[in-house]
Amino acid sequence: MNFLLHKTKFKSEEKHVNNELIFDSNYWDFINLVGDGFFFHNSFHLFGKSENNSFHDLIFRTELIKSIYKDMIPADVVSFGEDLFGNHFVYSSEGIGLFQLETAEIEYIASDFHEFIGEFTALIDYYTGESLAVAWLTNHTIDYEERLAPKLPFIVNGLYEVENLYKINYVRNLQFHSDLAIQIKNLPDGTTIKFDILPE
């Protein structure tokens, strides 16, 4: 998979510093070769270094998700990217995984970045939501600071369809879904829950 062919024209205005939070040579080899930014119709956002665009700064995004999810997210997590819906790709002591915003659970994918890229490229649409991004962009836009969120959350059988999506600022997206995760934490399957749907 040639990531450069699927990259949006956006990148850090600053150079990365190796071993800053992430101690995986495979990750840095990828960053040095391909760079950071948005890929696959903006459905995959690989964070970088940016003083001017906090939505793109790896350190800020890591601190932000920890401040919002608090003890629901492991303390050693480093967030390095997100999918179309704002779920975060993270490093932790357990490996590399996808932190699901609705449940505050990590789906572990690989032990290092080399293995991660192999798994990721084999299931790009699953890990990014690219097909929905393509469908969305047919009649809508999505800015760099926005992600798509379900009107009816996926965790309560919301459909993966454009009609069930709206765009939302990435910070509000984290805040809304952290509230949802708190409400459903430790609830048995089938429990009735009540929530407010954010306006478009």
Q: For residue range 64-81, what is the model confidence (pLDDT) as tens digits? A: 999 999 999 999 999 999
Does the residue 78 lie in any domain? yes
| 167 located within any domain | no
Query: pLDDT by residue (tens digit) across 27-53?
Result: 999 999 999 999 999 999 999 998 899
Residue 170 covered by a domain = no
Q: Is 52 inside a domain boundary?
A: yes
Q: Answer for the pair 199, 169: CB distance below 8 angstroms, yes or no.
A: no
Instruction: For residue 147, tell me if it sits in a domain.
Output: no
Q: Which domain holds residue 69?
A: 3-141
Q: Are 123 and 44 in contact (CB under 8 A)?
A: no
- From 116, 64, 122, 127, select the one nearest 91 (Cα to Cα): 116
How confident is the prediction for the chain on average, in pLDDT?
Answer: 91
pLDDT band at 22 (very low <50, low <70, confident <90, very high): very high
Please state the domain count of the chain: 1
Q: Is residue 59 in a domain?
A: yes
Full-model pTM: 0.91
